[in-house]
Structure 1
Amino acid sequence: MSKSLFMDLSSISEKKKGSVEFQIFNLTNRVVKLTYHFQKHGKDYSSQRGLWKILGKRKRLLTYLFKTNFVSYENLINQLGIRGLKKMNEKS
């Protein structure tokens, strides 16, 4: 499906499974799977609601990581290939 689904967990798996980085990684994989699902099932509105919830949770975790450990935040954003936070990028 996508390279994100088969991404190597080498740097993330060294950390605890409950860490913020690992949670963001799992949420990103779920987003990729759902976007693939929407290519076939475009009118699945209940799954769209779930996607919005996942995106909101990932955004909150990214905000927390940005505030607590900026270097780890930048590394994770680059590794996963996702955009950074809008408001946070304007300050940088």
Structure 2
Amino acid sequence: MVINSFISSISKEEKKGSVEFQVFCFTDKIRKLTSHLELHKKDFLSQRGMRKILGKRQRMLAYLSNKNKVRYKKLIGQLNIREPKTR
């Protein structure tokens, strides 16, 4: 499973505070909310919550890409998410 392999790849001392782990948690929440919103199309509060989580994840990924491109590319590949469009 993706969750176990990803969590085991992060060492114990940097689990909860690391950018990678936080992005992983946001991605997990986004995937759960996406499946929920497919069933409940008019759940506007969940839509708002998902937009907020998407914004947080985008800011975390921008921070990581500025600090360390190698870790950023590795994380994008592991989570199967695409790179955000730049303006």
TM-score range, shorter chain: 0.7 to 0.9
8 Å CA contact 1:34, 1:51 repeated in 2? yes
Letter of the structure 2 residue corresponding to residue 25 of structure 1: F
Structure in which a larger fraction of residues adopt helix: 2
- Quote the sequence identity (%): 53
Aligned to 2:46: 47
Aligned to 1:21: 20
Aligned to 1:11: 9
Q: Deviations over 1:8-50 (max 9, x none)?
A: 2221354331111100000000000000101211110000000
TM-score by structure 2 length? 0.88
Shift of the 13–53 alpha-carbon distance from structure 1 to 2, 3 Å rule, reads: farther
Letter of the structure 2 residue corresponding to residue 19 of structure 1: S
Distance in 1 between the 2:66 and 2:50 partners? Answer: 24
Structure 1: gaps (5+ residues) = none
Indicate whether 1:37 and 2:36 are aligned: yes
Aligned to 2:83: 84
The number of residue pairs the alignment matches comes to: 85
Distance in 2 between the 1:46 and 1:33 partners? Answer: 14
Shift of the 13–48 alpha-carbon distance from structure 1 to 2, 3 Å rule, reads: farther
